[in-house]
Amino acid sequence: MIRFVRAHGYDPGPTQRPLLAGAISGLLAAIPAGLVFTAFGSSRVAAESILSMPPPWAAALMTAGFTVGGWLYGAVFQRAANDRRAAWLLGMSSGFVLWIFAPIVVLPLVRSHAMAGGPAATGIFVGFLVWGLTVGLLFPYVHRPLQARLEGRSGRRWGPSAAEWGLRLLRRP
């Protein structure tokens, strides 16, 4: 039963770092999303009209937001995000949810009228989807080295694998 539960992403142990992997993936995925924002003119509209701050500050704020979004992706999906076959779908769905969440919940707290229109709005939508797709595709590749490095260096066993190893030792005649 332990293998079944572990295989489906429940109860991650200390050597499984989905939050850190999510934050790193979110930070890296901000690059293609930023390129989409720039191509559609969304970054300029977001900086000048919505956030009322210089473009570098707005870019830093959006990058921080995407990093937090990646952290949330790792927190919600945990080890289930390691499935390479479903990663693109999980990522795009989380990008879609963040696209809905950002202008409706977060931006009205910053500014009273916080909506973009025209090509800028399309760019924001496409940018969030590209960010989500990139997070979903990057997460397994970022998470695996973090997990392997932590398991390989110490020689100790942690989490579910340690419990399974201990049970095998107890069952030996």
**Per-residue model confidence as pLDDT tens digits over 153-171:** 444 555 555 556 556 666 6
Within 8 A by CB and 6+ apart from 115, the residues are 50, 103, 107, 121
With 0.75 as the threshold, say if the pTM is over it: no
Amino acid 19: pLDDT: 83
Give the burial class of 41: count Cβ atoms within 10 A of its Cβ; 0-12 exposed, 13-18 middle, 19 or more buried: middle
Establish if 157 belongs to a structural domain.
no
pLDDT at 32 over 90: yes
Establish if 46 belongs to a structural domain.
yes
Per-residue pLDDT reduced to its tens digit, 105-156 = 666 676 656 566 777 778 888 888 998 999 988 888 887 777 665 455 444 5
Establish if 119 belongs to a structural domain.
yes
Between CA 45 and CA 52 the distance in angstroms is: 9
pLDDT top residue among 76 and 151:
76
Beta strands in 3-128 (DSSP E): none
Which structural domain range is residue 102 located in?
18-146
Establish if 155 belongs to a structural domain.
no
Between CA 112 and CA 4 the distance in angstroms is: 49
pLDDT at 12 over 90: no
Establish if 166 belongs to a structural domain.
no
